[in-house]
Structures are given as structure tokens and as C-alpha cells.
């Protein structure tokens, strides 16, 4: 398959590191090719055993999700697999939500993020890591974008009793950040949904990995 560039093209070239992974995470680079900014999400720096198992699966899973979501504004565009261990897609100009102050966020930002999440659910995908503010971008026009679909699930293959829970988990990620950044505009219906989810959260298993399991980022 024809791809805009291959691993040989990036080797030896200057690229900016966006994020260093931990033992089971990719490194992410910003690579400019023919005047276009691409992200390379690369599991090659992981240990060989992690790379050929977890990394191999994660790259395919994220690629499949991004392919399904093409056309929805607010997800990384033009995904392709560099090889078995790295995924590429277009860079989104902006800042992560975690690096953005509430005064920089437009009043309807979270409404738009909620809409983006609902559109994603309409395509039968749940993200499951929207609470993480590094996975949300405030783009150069102040619009929301979602990143990091490697943990997403296909709701078509999910038992019915988990489908709604997974959707609620995503929306609670939106409302949690909404409450943090724009509490005055979070209405009582959404707040009640968030509180209900937080009560359930005390019992559920999808609370993320404990920090001792995550390990340190590569230097
Ligand atoms: N398309 C993109 N446009 C702009 N920045 C991006 C893009 N993709 C990734 N990034 C940057 O790289 C960071 C890590 O990306 P991602 O969340 O996909 O990887 P990760 O392995 O899950 O890392 P983390 O554990 O930090 O969440 C993001 O927080 C963001 O700063
Ligand atoms: Mg992430």
C-alpha cells in the first residue's frame, strides 16, 4: 500500500518528540513531510516482547478506530500504519486540555465535545479514556479534538449490559472536565449523570492502571 512516507524516511531526520512512553506506551513524534505535520505513534522503542504483542495489537486497534471515524471533525485525520509497530496521522494544531486554562476555553467547548462523543458512539465506538486531559485537544480554533483511541472498544462486539456503561464512562469524562473548567455552565441533569457515574465508579474496574504498574516514562 502507498503511504505518504515510510520508516526509512523518518530515520535520521529531525523530528520533535511529543511524548515519551512508559514500558508499555509508544513514543510520539511530530514529523514534517512535504510541508505537512504528521504524528508518528511508535512502539518500536518498547522492549521487543511488548512491541510484538501489546504494541502490535494497540497499533491495529487505534488504526481501525481512526479509519472508522474518518470524516468526523475532531479526530486525527488520514491515519496509516507505518509498519506493524507504528501508526501515523495528521497533527492537530493546538494544546491539550491539561495545558489550557479555563479562561482560554470557549463557552460551548464541552457541548461540542459531548457532541463529538455522541457521534463517535453513533459509529459504535467507545473511547474509555476521556477523563485523561492529555487525550483532549483544544485546537487552534478553540474546537475540541479527541486523541488516543488505542483503548477504545467496538460496541457492536460488546455485551448489551456493558454498552450503556461504556457510553456513560465516556460522557462522565466529558462532564468531569466540564465541571473542572466551566462549572457554571454544567446543568443539573448532566451533573446528576456525573454524580451517578462517580458513585458507580467506586466499584468498577475501569479506573485506569495503578501508578506502580504504569512505570516511568523513557528519558
Ligand atoms: N494528532 C495529534 N495532534 C496533536 N498532538 C497529538 C496528536 N496525537 C498525539 N498528540 C500528543 O501526544 C500526546 C500523547 O498521545 P496519546 O495519548 O495518543 O499517546 P499515549 O501513549 O496514550 O500517551 P499518554 O499516556 O500521555 O496519554 C498527547 O497528549 C498529545 O500531546
Ligand atoms: Mg493518551
Ligand at minimal distance from the CA of 45 is 1
Interval 25-40: pLDDT, tens: 999 999 999 999 999 9
Domain chopping of the chain, boundaries: 14-90, 94-201
Ligand at minimal distance from the CA of 23 is 1
Q: Which ligand 1 atom is at minimum distance from the Cα of 26?
A: 21
Which position has the grid cell 455552565?
A: 185
What's the CA gap between 153 and 149, in Å, rounded? Answer: 9
The three-state secondary structure class of 173 is helix
CATH code reported for the domain at 14-90: 3.30.200.20
Interval 50-83: pLDDT, tens: 999 999 999 999 999 999 999 999 999 999 999 9
Average pLDDT on 157-186 reads 95
Determine contact, residues 59/35, Cβ cutoff 8 Å.
no
Q: Which ligand 1 atom is at minimum distance from the Cα of 28?
A: 12
The pLDDT value recorded for residue 205 is 57
The preferred substitution site among 15, 16, 18 for testing ligand 1, maximizing ligand atoms within 8 Å of CB, is: 18
The yes/no answer on whether domain 94-201 falls in CATH 1.10.510.10 is yes
- Ligand 1 pocket at CB < 6 A: 18-19, 21, 25-26, 28, 39, 41, 76, 89, 91-92, 96, 132, 134-135, 137, 147-148
Phi/psi at 32 (5° precision):
-95, 125
The alpha carbon of 94 and the centre of ligand 1 are apart by a number of angstroms equal to 12
Determine contact, residues 166/126, Cβ cutoff 8 Å.
yes
Of 119, 210, 209, residue with least CA distance to 171: 119
pLDDT at 192 over 70: yes
Interval 139-155: pLDDT, tens: 999 999 999 999 999 99
Amino acid at each position: 500500500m502507498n503511504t505518504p512516507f515510510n520508516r526509512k524516511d523518518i530515520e535520521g531526520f529531525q523530528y520533535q518528540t511529543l511524548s515519551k512512553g512508559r514500558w508499555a506506551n509508544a513514543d510520539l513524534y511530530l514529523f514534517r513531510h512535504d510541508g505537512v505535520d504528521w504524528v508518528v505513534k511508535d512502539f518500536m522503542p518498547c522492549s521487543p516482547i511488548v512491541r510484538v504483542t501489546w504494541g502490535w495489537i494497540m497499533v491495529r486497534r487505534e488504526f481501525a478506530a481512526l479509519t472508522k471515524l474518518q470524516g468526523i471533525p475532531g479526530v486525527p485525520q488520514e491515519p496509516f500504519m507505518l509498519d506493524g509497530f507504528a501508526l501515523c496521522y495528521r497533527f492537530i494544531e493546538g494544546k491539550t486540555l491539561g495545558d489550557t486554562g479555563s479562561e482560554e476555553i470557549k463557552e460551548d467547548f464541552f457541548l461540542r465535545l459531548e457532541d463529538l462523543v455522541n457521534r463517535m458512539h453513533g459509529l459504535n465506538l467507545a473511547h474509555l479514556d476521556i477523563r485523561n486531559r492529555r487525550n483532549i485537544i483544544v485546537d487552534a480554533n478553540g474546537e475540541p479534538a479527541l486523541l488516543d483511541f488505542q483503548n477504545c472498544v467496538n460496541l457492536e462486539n460488546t455485551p448489551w449490559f456493558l454498552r450503556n456503561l461504556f457510553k456513560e464512562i465516556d460522557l462522565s469524562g466529558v462532564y468531569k472536565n466540564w465541571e473542572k473548567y466551566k462549572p457554571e455552565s454544567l446543568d443539573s441533569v448532566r451533573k446528576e449523570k456525573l454524580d451517578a457515574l462517580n458513585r458507580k465508579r467506586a466499584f468498577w474496574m475501569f479506573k485506569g492502571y495503578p501508578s506502580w504498574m504504569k512505570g516511568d516514562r523513557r528519558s
